Amino acid sequence: MQNKKIFILLPDGIGLRNFAFTNFHKLGLEKGFDITFWNNTQFDLKSLGIKELPIIYAKTHPITDILKVAQTHIELSQNIKRSKDKVYDTYRFPSSAKDMKSALKNTIRQAVIFWNNSQKGLEKIRKSIAGNERKTKYYFDSYETLEKEQPAMVFCTNQRIMLAVAPILAAQDLGIPTATFIFSWDNLPKGTKIVETDFYFVWSEHMKKELQYYYPHITEDQIFVTGTPQFETHFSDDVVVSREAFCKEYRLDANKKYICFSGDDVTTSPNDPTYLEDLAKAVVSLNGKGQNLGIIFRRCPVDFSDRYDATLKKYSDIITSINPKWEKKTDSWHAILPTKADLDLQMNTISHSEFVINLGSSMVFDFAAFNKPCAFINYDVPNADFPDWSVKKIYNFIHFRSMPSKDSVFWVNDPNDMELLIQKMMSKEAENVIDNAQQWFEKINQHPPQLASERIWNAINEICK
């Protein structure tokens, strides 16, 4: 009889949205799988009726973080060597040297990079990470758990978290098949694939080609094209509430047409408050000409800063801030967790907005799923605190090169363009842009998108056989 016990490894909260808050778990149960979430988050999955096994002690080897960062830098250098493209340098984060310990780490890291800056060096670092992680208490605890539970497979929800390495190694050492999900459309060019598994689940054929390009040691039969569950909710009839109910809950005017401005984190878009104010000015002008518009501001879920406060106060009659329903367990970025309620909130925000404006966000695909357009902000604002930042740097990232047509979005190249673009986005001129965005969406994510969980479970079943 086939063993259908599946461990879903949650090394951090990123996987909650895709695998705990969607139809993924329910569908797996319907297919006869015995599902346990191996949970390293502070989220209580039992409250959702999900069987969980909490990870009590998760700690990597002291040298692992140094090796991980070195691995990423070497991968980026090798990508430049392979492609002759300097864009990969823009994915590097500057090293912190705030104290003696940080400075020492930087020195060791630079030495590791210097002596291992090659494909052979990368393989050596991967082996060192594995060797060190196999010495940790975390590895032995994981080994003991898996030996006792005997799952047919361990499926990791995120390819980039070091805390997934020890459990995956323990499974492999016990002969248990392992797989990981590449969780975001922009991850692979960044050198963030830390977990080495037997199988890989990707969003699309496009991502499959990326995976094979950046990691040629991964063979075609190790890759399953499934799509991502994060878009499944967009096609659920029972998520979106009536306009009257939504407007009443968030004190909106049901007679207004609302524009969604979705914020980025401060590193990605330090000038977001200015962009929001530019949009507000355009709306004020259009309302003075007979329009009846408002703005829904959805901030980045991990941005708890006060940088928008002045703009929100100044335009309180125009902008309604509807904060994401994420839970901040501690001050750590990794302890800010999504919730099921926020997934519903996002769907309703999209449904009751005309379109979205942001700086290069994947919200373009969320709105495309609702047949609504997106505008990308494409102009710089002088900012003394971020002198090296530019929209040109953002839109030169590899993942934007997947765009089949530049007309897949509207481009806000100047704040003075806002008024005219708003009018275009609410007219028939938007239809061609929406069609192009749909083509982009189909390239990025396997269609039909609502069957992603089905494809993932079919692949898991195939592996388990």
Q: How confident is the model at residue 335 (pLDDT cuts 50, 70, 90)?
A: low
Co-location of 54 and 203 in the same domain: yes
pLDDT of residue 383: 83
Question: For 242-258, what is the mean pLDDT?
Answer: 97
Asked if 269 and 374 sit in the same domain, the reply is yes
Q: Is 220 a member of any domain?
A: yes
**For residues 41-66, average pLDDT:** 95
Number of domains in the chain: 3
Residues 117, 70 share a domain: yes
CATH of residue 408's domain is: 3.40.50.2000
Residue 233 within a domain: no
75 and 195 part of one domain: no
- Pair (161, 245) in one structural domain: no
For residues 175 and 301, state if they share a domain. Answer: no
Query: 84 with 182, same domain?
Result: no
Q: Has residue 314 been placed in a domain?
A: yes
pLDDT of residue 332: 56
Residues 458, 430 share a domain: no
Instruction: Say yes or no: 375 and 314 in one domain.
Output: yes
Instruction: Determine, yes or no, domain membership for 147.
Output: yes
Q: What domain range is 175 assigned to?
A: 5-60+136-228+449-464
Instruction: Please check whether residue 95 lies inside any domain of the structure.
Output: yes
Domain match, 208 and 312 both: no
**78-134 per-position pLDDT tens digit:** 999 999 999 999 999 877 667 788 888 889 999 999 999 999 999 999 999 999 999
pLDDT tens readout for residues 289-331: 999 999 999 999 889 899 999 999 999 999 999 999 988 765 5
The reply to whether 44 and 160 lie within a common domain is yes
The residue among 236 and 422 whose pLDDT is bigger is 422
Mean pLDDT in the chain? 95
In the 3-class helix/strand/coil scheme, how is the chain assigned residue by residue?
A: CCCCEEEEEECCCHHHHHHCCCCHHHHHHHCCCEEEEEECCCCCHHHHCCCEEECCCCCCCCCHHHHHHHHHHHHHHHHHHHHCCHHHHHHCCCCCCCCHHHHHHHHHHHHHHHHCCCHHHHHHHHHHHHHHHCCCHHHHHHHHHHHHHCCCEEEECCCCCHHHHHHHHHHHHCCCCEEEECCCCCCHHHCCCCCCCCEEEECCHHHHHHHHHHCCCCCHHHEEECCCHHHHHHHCCCCCCCHHHHHHHCCCCCCCEEEEEECCCCCCCCCHHHHHHHHHHHHHHHHCCCCCEEEEEECCCCCCCCCCHHHHHHCCCCEEECCCCCEECCCCHHHEECCHHHHHHHHHHHHCCCEEEECCCCHHHHHHHCCCCEEEECCCCCCCCCCCCCHHHHHCCHHHHHCCCHHHCEEECCHHHHHHHHHHHCCCCHHHHHHHHHHHHHHHCCCCHHHHHHHHHHHHHHHHC
The answer to whether residue 386 is domain-embedded is: yes
